[in-house]
Structure formats: structure tokens, C-alpha cells
Amino acid sequence: MKNGSLDNFLFTTEEHSGKMLSREYRYNVALGTTRGIMYLHEECRDCIIHCDIKPENTLLDEIFNAKVSDFELAKLINPKDNRYQILTSVGGPRSYLAPEWLANLPITSKSDVIAMGWSCLR
């Protein structure tokens, strides 16, 4: 994607200056990421829990439309199973994990929602 990942605009490293996005762009990125997560959770035949929502996995095109990427840790949940599952492996960095990961509770689509919230706070 033309503008790389969202973390390029949030964090300063030797390679990236941590360019700031305008409030309008930040809103559009949050909205686009939320729509992508909603599609995975509600509009697919089976619920897809991404399990690794973070700025590094939010790609930005040339006009800063957000695209959710990196489905390596994603899990399919059949709607007949009430959209929850006990998962044994923890995905993603601890800073974006939902409390249920750490407490060994059933994982739901809400786990992605809280990770999105943590990303927005960055």
C-alpha cells in the first residue's frame, strides 16, 4: 500500500519520522478499520476473529483508506457456536490484548474491538 502501515504515522523510529495525520485522516483511518473489522465479524458467512489488530496491521492506501491486513492468527468461528471459542495461543503484542486473553476466558469478536480501541488511543 502506498502509505505503508499506520504505525509509520504513530511511532518515531530511525526509518520513519512519525508523520502526524490530521484529525480528519485519523477519523477516516479509525472508521475504515472499524468497518473492516465489522465486515469480518458480521458480514462473512463465518465470523472471522482477526486476533492481531494493531497499527502495524492497518495498511493505508494513497488517500489514507485503511485496510486490515495480516490474517496469520485469524480464527474462523461458526455462528452456530455462538461466536465464541476458547483459544489457547495468545495473538498479537500484549499492549493490544483483550483482558479475556490474559484470563483464559472464551475469545469473542469483542477481542478485536478492544484491540481496535487500544490502537485508537495510540
One of 7, 46, 52, 112 is an active-site residue; which one?
Answer: 52
Q: Is 112 a catalytic residue?
A: no
| Domain positions in the chain | 6-121
CA-based angle 91:115:95, to the nearest 5? 70
Q: Which of 95, 115, 94 is nearest to 30 (CA)?
A: 115
What are the pLDDT digits (tens) for 82-91?
555 555 555 5
- Beta strands in the chain, from DSSP E residues, in sequence order: 47-49, 58-60, 66-68, 75-77, 84-85, 107-108
**Residue 4 burial (CB count, 10 A):** 12
Residue 93's pLDDT band (cuts 50, 70, 90): low
Q: Which fold has domain 6-121?
A: Transferase(Phosphotransferase); domain 1 (1.10.510)
What are the pLDDT digits (tens) for 109-122?
888 998 899 888 87
Read off the pTM: 0.81
